[in-house]
Every structure is written in structure tokens, then in C-alpha cells.
Structure 1
């Protein structure tokens, strides 16, 4: 079961993405979600299949959401992951004096 998917990035939240079936575009995405997401910026199109691996998402969950609701929302990683990768000197700048 291959799906041609369009991926949109959010202008409001870094690393938040919306996956939709290319044939449906944004038609099945609830208006409230689009308002919270912001004006979607098309990032790229991608062919998804159960064999494909995604960097941060479970492909089976993405495909399930696309079939059931017409979209999949990829949330940004928790902020703790960002902090772990910051250089030590940046972290020291925020230390209390």
C-alpha cells in the first residue's frame, strides 16, 4: 500500500510537519488544526510505503493516520532533546550568577 504524500511545515513551530495525501491536499485537515498550525508551507512530496523508514515517525502510524483521518501531524521533539545538543558554553550563559 503505497501513498503519495505531501509534507507541509509549520511557520509557527519549528520541526512541526503535517503529512497529507497528495490527492486530498489539505481538504481533510480540520480547520482548527490548520489555524493552530499556521499557513502550511509545502516542503516536499514523498512516496510512503510500509517498507520505508522515517527519521522520527513510525511509518505504520503515519499510514494509519493518513487512511483513517486524512492527515498525520508530526510534533517537534521535546525541548529536552534540543538542550542536550546545545554547546556547553550556551548552557552556561543561562546559569544564575
Structure 2
């Protein structure tokens, strides 16, 4: 699926995936408002076999099909890394 990925200006590390031709105005306000301004980050063809840095492509595709969007949250910090870095 050809997917447009937007980065949130208000919440660093948050990325909104939508089908390329999706209208952001059709998405729930409760999703869009907290993210603030969204800037186009990447246009990507996602397939089930594709590797994504911080998301499972199968889950992304399922969410895009069922909800019309996928919200990628920033990775959780590893507590051991914080202690020993």
C-alpha cells in the first residue's frame, strides 16, 4: 500500500501513516489535534514483508485498512540503557 507518513511537530517521535490519497480532515479530531502541525516526512510503499524501523508492517497495513491510519509512537526507553549509559 502506498503510504504517506507525517511527522508531528508538537510530539517528537510520533508519526502518522495514512494511505497516500487520504484526507487528513477525515481523521478523528481527537487523533489530529494533540499532534499539532503535521509535516510530510516520507512516501513509502508498505508490504507485509517490508522491514520498518519501529513498526510491524503487518500491523501497519491492518490498521491502515481497518482504521484508515496508523500512529507510530516513539520507542520506549530501555531502563538499563538509562542506568548504564
**Please, what TM-score do these two structures have when normalized by structure 2?**
0.86
TM-fit CA distance, 1:84: 2.4
**CA-atom RMSD in angstroms:** 2.1
Q: Structure 1 residues 64, 11: CA separation in 2 closer, same or farther (over 3 Å shift)? A: same
Write the distance in 1 (CA, Å) between the matches of 2:71 and 2:6.
10
Partner in structure 2 of residue 93 of structure 1: none
4+ aligned runs moved over 3 Å, structure 1: none
Instruction: Number of aligned residue pairs: give it.
Output: 85
Question: Please, which of 23, 34, 53 is the counterpart of residue 36 of structure 1?
Answer: 34
Do residues 57 (structure 1) and 65 (structure 2) align? no
Pairwise CA distance, 1:14: 1.2
User: Which structure has the greater CA radius of gyration?
Assistant: 1
Q: How does the TM-score come out when normalised to structure 1? A: 0.77
Judge which range, 10-19 or 26-35, deviates more: 26-35
**What corresponds to 2:78 in structure 1?**
81
Distance 1:83 1:31 in 2: 37
Structure 2: 5+ residue stretches without partners: none
Unpaired stretches in structure 1, ≥5 consecutive residues:
89-97
